[in-house]
Structure 1
Amino acid sequence: MNKLKSHGQCKAKTNFVRVDKICLRQESLKLTLHLAILVTVAIACSVFVALPTAEGWTVVQERDPNVRDYMSITFTSKNTGWVVGAASFEDFENPGFIGYTTDGGASWQKSEVQIPADLAEVYFLDDKHGWAVGANGTIVATDNGQDWELQTSKVGNGLKGIYFVNKDVGLAVGESDTILSTKNGGRSWKVLQGGQLGAVGDDDANMYNAVQFLDEETGWLAGVRVSPSTQGQSALIQKTTDGGQSWVTQETGKEDILEDLFFLNASMGWAVGENGVILHTNNGGESWTEQASGTQETLRSVGFADENNGWAIGGDFGVGAILHTTDGGTTWELEDSTEKLVKVFVLDGKNVWLASSTGAVMRAE
């Protein structure tokens, strides 16, 4: 592993907001700089405007222009958690961002490690052992919760999901059919399939957005299968019972891209994605049925505390959706949000957090 350069472990409390990427053109550099100044000033002013609170949720973190994007959030206790995403546009060479909280999200410290790519997902086993993945095959890891090291993935395409069964055994998945595995905590990664940057051909190709395992042998992937020959796509869920050496596709009957999945146990699972789709299985994925969400927004994350109580969240272009069920998804209660929500993390029925793409964090009351 390569030690990431750091100028101290943490920085002062920070919050986060997203702005659209500005394409710098040499012939109009002066105009672009003027526009950038105006945008920065406008955003800096907007940070002081309190976010509207969704019913049953407390905003524990407001927006801040210092960070461009939030992509994932996780907690190991009611106080200790992490967020990952993309830093401000000012740091083009090291855009990856990791934030750390010890007070349930009321304040966050920004890690000063230099990460050369945006981060998409973070996973922690406990307060010390965690991993994050992102663009350009980036994988970073920590064994104390604060200091991060770059791991060698052997791929250059984007990684979207990561999951560890224990501190040694884990999988990472992403674009271009990519599935990676490790047996030593990420000190070395093996490419199980895919991994060819920008691979395009006549054969069907998979993009994996999420991965979850119950033990070293049994796990699921969610994403989309694209068929260049027909210019079509289909929702994709695959299951392994041999630690990722082979995968069986589970039929969904849907065309929507799946963004996330969550299994409560070997039988009960949910998957969410485009057009408000929610799929449910009670037999380990042998069959999937659709649950009515009441929204057409893209659902980006799902989590359950038990077989009855669960949440699904998402949104597009500044409009968000929060869904809650108390009957396993037979019915979902929908609440609109002014934030595009990207991640829900359910620690238990009383400790649930939401993260928005603009860097806001909400906690269940």
Structure 2
Amino acid sequence: MKWCYKISATVLTICCLLVTGCNSKEPEVASSVPVEATELGQTITVINPDSTSNNAVRTQPVSNGEKYQIQTRLTDFQLLSDTTGLAWGTTSGELRLYLTKDNGETWTNISPATAVQFPSNPEYGKEIFFKDSMNGWIVRNSIGASEAMILRTRDGGGTWKLSSLRDSDEVAAMYFNDIEHGWILTVDNKAIDNQGKTLYLSEDGGATWSSIMSNQALPTTKKVDQVLPKSANFVSMIFTDQKNGYISTMKSGLPALYVTEDGGMDWKENTSFFNPAKYQTCKQFTVGETTPFVNDRSTGWIPIGCSRDDGTKFNGYFTEDAGQSWQLVPFKLSWQTDLNEYSEPTFLNSKEGWTIQGDVVYRTIDQGNNWTPLPESPRLKKTLQDYPEVVKLRFISSNVGWLLVAKTDQKRSLLLQTQNGGVSWRVL
């Protein structure tokens, strides 16, 4: 049975006014802004920062608004094109969401109203997902007895509309295949290997949501093998079109992949995906995000980490037939034992990928069979000395990539960009 949840037009109108991130009042101007970016974290130039905090200094006005220098801590990002991307973090429970369309030279604050509080830092693919620079969604998980809040924009964050999800469980993943069709998976996280899961579908851009799959009441009249099992602990979810989707999990300590061919109502395990017999020396496994390649949605990859006493090393599983079969590619990389032991490589397509080991960027053009160290980047080397944790590395093209690094105390971060394939880097 499907359950559809709506909010009345009147309530939506009120909520839209509440969460619209527009405010005609100019923020107070602070007396000064620290200039030591290395010590104080990210400093970005924001245009029209209507709902930003007051640690901003106005610079020279520009034609389309005022410029402000904002000192902030970023916790995640999403690349949209060579020049366009999003970055965000939270300050005192308030989401700070910024959009750049000029390689980070300037940023626009597109945050929802500060009245919408976030108990933790939102993650891409979980609480934040943008299809392009205009269409995006934000989930604020339920707090106490409140419902999960879903905000959506069609104008690049100029206005935000609100809907809700009557589920007190935690939102674990959100994915939109286009601007109308999206999925949200919630989990109860009450016990390891006993995880209740419910999948919701929206066909109107996130305005309403219907439950299409749940394992909460197993066993039921629905066959147990047609839903996601409680014994599989969720990791990631993607849909390549309106019918075909993939969910990666950890089941009894081993990576497991579940697929759907009917839009998420029925799921089955791809039993040929992972063979533990190929990993005789591994004591523990980790599985990364399932990532479809942008230029060919029938191709994609999943990173698998193998840990033993002397460290962790990642290998890759690649598909070229929309997940029907997967090929294991053992990566010729060193075992890692440092702070970034579980930092996985990133791939742009089925051949080209990057990873960072120590302070060196490695690149492959043959699906990870061979990795070439790129020339040393003095900027990257110095930055990693001060910000040793690699939070996230992603490339949107063969030339352009972003790297988010952080201090070990989690209080400072820096976002860097490369425009030559990882050879040199600059702070955005």
TM-score (norm 1): 0.68
2:44–2:106 contact (8 Å) kept in structure 1 = yes
Q: What is the aligned partner in structure 1 of residue 365 from structure 2?
A: 326
Counterparts of 1:301 and 1:99, CA distance in 2: 26
Structure 2 residue aligned with 1:277: 314
What is aligned with 1:34? none
Distance 1:334 1:45 in 2: 33
CA, structure 1 residues 5+258, in 2 after alignment: closer, same or farther (shift >3 Å)? Answer: same
The answer as to 2:322 corresponding to 1:310 is: no
Pair member with larger Rg: 2
Measured against aligned partners, the alpha-carbon deviations of 1:241-284 in whole angstroms (never above 9, x if no partner) come to 21111222233246523231212245532112554433212342
Shift of 1:98: 1.5
Q: 2: CA distance between counterparts of 1:207 and 1:134?
A: 22
Aligned to 1:236: 256
Instruction: Name the residue aligned to 1:348.
Output: 397
Match of 2:280 in 1: none
- TM-fit CA distance, 1:61: 6.4
- Give CA-to-partner distance per residue, 1:65-91, whole Å, 9 cap, x none: 95455133232x333221234x12xx2
Change (3 A) 1:104 1:134: farther
Q: Which has the higher strand share?
A: 1
- Per-residue CA shift, 1:24-60, capped at 9, x if unaligned? xxxxxxxxxxxxxxxxxxxx78634499xxxxxxx99
User: Do the aligned partners of 1:73 and 1:355 also contact (CA within 8 Å) in 2?
Assistant: no
Work out which structure has the larger RCO, using CA pairs closer than 8 Å and 6 or more positions apart in sequence: 1
* TM-aligned CA deviation for residue 310 of structure 1: 2.3
Distance 1:131 1:321, change over 3 A: farther
- Code of the residue aligned with 1:326 in structure 2: it is I
What residue is the counterpart of 1:294 in the other structure?
Answer: 334
Match in the other structure for 2:135: 129
Q: Distance in 2 between matches of 1:321 and 1:139?
A: 40
Aligned match of 1:214: 240
1:300 positional shift: 5.4
Whichever residue aligns with residue 73 of structure 1, its letter is Q
Asked whether the 8 Å contact 1:260–1:302 carries over to 2, the reply is no
Residue from 258, 278, 286 that aligns with 1:257: 286
Pair 174,127 (structure 1): closer, same or farther in 2 beyond 3 Å: same
SS of the equivalent of 1:350 reads coil
**Displacement after TM superposition at 1:355 (Å):** 2.7
Q: What is the CA–CA distance in structure 2 between the aligned matches of 1:191 and 1:322, rounded to whole Å? A: 44
Q: Distance in 1 between matches of 2:373 and 2:234?
A: 27
Match of 1:28 in 2: none
User: Among residues 193, 200, 209, which one is paired with 1:180 in the alignment?
Assistant: 200
- The equivalent residue for 1:362 is 416
In structure 2, what is the Cα distance between the partners aligned to 1:311 and 1:95?
33
Residue type of the alignment partner of 1:80: T
Report the CA distance between 1:99 and its aligned residue.
1.6
Identity %: 18
User: Residue type of the partner of 2:399?
Assistant: K
Q: Match of 1:163, SS?
A: strand
Q: Quickly say closer, same or farther: Cα 1:6–1:70, change in 2 above 3 A.
A: same
CA distance in 1 between partners of 2:247 and 2:362 (Å): 22
Tell me the CA shift for residue 187 of structure 1.
0.5
Gaps of 5+ in 2: 1-11, 28-33, 46-68, 143-147, 189-196, 217-228, 277-283, 306-311, 375-380, 407-411, 420-428
Structure 1 residue 135, shift from structure 2 partner = 4.1
Distance in structure 2 (CA, Å) of the matches to 1:301 and 1:9: 41
Q: Does residue 166 in structure 1 map to residue 178 in structure 2?
A: yes
Q: TM-score, normalised by structure 2?
A: 0.59
CA distance in 2, matches of 1:312, 1:134: 32
User: Paired residues, what number?
Assistant: 303
Give the aligned residue type for 2:113: V
Shift of 1:303: 3.6
- Deviation string 1:124-155 (CA, Å, 9 cap, x unpaired) is 22321112346444533211112333331333
Match of 1:224 in 2: 250
- Tell me the equivalent position of 2:88: 84
Residues 9, 174 of structure 1: alpha-carbon distance in 2 compared, 3 angstrom cutoff: farther
Gaps of 5+ in 1: 13-43, 52-58, 197-202, 226-231
Does the CA contact (< 8 Å) of 1:277 and 1:290 recur in 2?
A: no
